[in-house]
Amino acid sequence: MMAIESVYSHRSQGAEVPKNISPPHTHSRGFYMSQKKFGFLTQDELKRYNRQIILQGWGDDAQLRIRESTVFIAGVGGLGSAASLYLAAAGAGTLRICDDGEVELSNLNRQIIHSNESQGTKKVFSAAERISNVNPHVHTVSLDRRIDDRSISDLVADSDIIVDCMDNFDTRYILNRYAAQRGIPMVHAGIFGMAGQITFIESPATPCLQCIFPEAPPPEVFPVVGATVGVIGSLEALEVLKYLTGTGELLKSRLLLFEGDIMKFEELPLEKNPSCAVCGGR
């Protein structure tokens, strides 16, 4: 296995480490890890997560599944800021955050996980610090690496789900290929200006990303209003939480388009492409 040189594993000192943690589980593959026994929530956790635990269909079991989960966050820019902060606040057990960029002044209108003081530092370290402030129970693995065909296996590792927070389709296609090969679900999202799109991919049950978008749109410097990535990144976190807990109805085979300038959502049905280069319409 290729060594990951820039891994930084973070759990805040003083955080109450849950006991009775089961060994790392394999990907849940739709049964939501329901057959596993995860021990008990601590008093601190019961209080911290009370407002979601009391949600109908959630309860202690769902919260424990979130605590036992490992989520791969591909990119901690705009989408990754919102997605990882809400997943951290919701009690995700391990967040594997991956980004090889540094925090720049021009990021700060939308990348709310980073602060003015974190300019010039690596995004993954800035993000890990913020996550630990939001919720010290979360185990953060900072991956200061570029995602490519060689590194992706080590980077994703035993993650239960991939959250696509990238800003380009080339890397998204790498994520998509790996997810399709390994049967790992992936939440895809993108933004532009005041618009966004999101879908839940679980190939072969759903169209893969390349079924939906066979060709990458040309790279560009995209305008973006910070609140837009807040909306779409939050929806990504919600899809992850629904998947992990087995609650609600996932955005499978549906593309949700958000047009914030006129405040409309549009849902498009999606179909697999029988001649898809990745999943071949399996």
* 219 sits near other proteins (criterion: CB under 8 A): yes
* 192 sits near other proteins (criterion: CB under 8 A): yes
Bridge partners, residue 95, by sequence: 71, 140
* Residues 241, 63: Cα–Cα separation, whole Å: 10
- Could you say which DSSP state residue 46 is in? H
Residues 29, 166, 175, 204, CA torsion sign: positive
The b/e string for 122-145 (b: 16+ C-beta within 10 A; e otherwise) is: bbbbbbbbbbbeebbbbbbbbbbb
* 79 sits near other proteins (criterion: CB under 8 A): yes
Among 73, 87, 90, 224, binds other proteins (CB under 8 A): 224
Tokens of 68: 């036992």
Among 205, 274, 277, 282, binds other proteins (CB under 8 A): 274
Furthest CA-CA distance within the chain? 53
Residue 62 or 229 having the CB closest to other proteins: 229
Among 196, 202, 210, 239, binds other proteins (CB under 8 A): 196
Q: Which of residues 250-269 bind other proteins (CB under 8 A)?
A: 257, 259, 262, 264, 266, 268-269
Among 17, 217, 277, 282, binds other proteins (CB under 8 A): 217
Indicate the SS3 state at residue 124: helix
Contact 268, 120 (CB under 8 A): no
Q: Which of residues 39-78 bind other proteins (CB under 8 A)?
A: 75, 77-78
Among 7, 108, 195, 227, binds other proteins (CB under 8 A): 195
Among 152, 166, 186, 250, binds other proteins (CB under 8 A): 166
Q: What angle do CA 167, 152, 249 make, to 5 degrees?
A: 65
* 220 sits near other proteins (criterion: CB under 8 A): yes
Binding site for other proteins (CB under 8 A): 75, 77-80, 164-169, 189-192, 195-197, 212-220, 222, 224, 229, 257, 259, 262, 264, 266, 268-271, 273-275
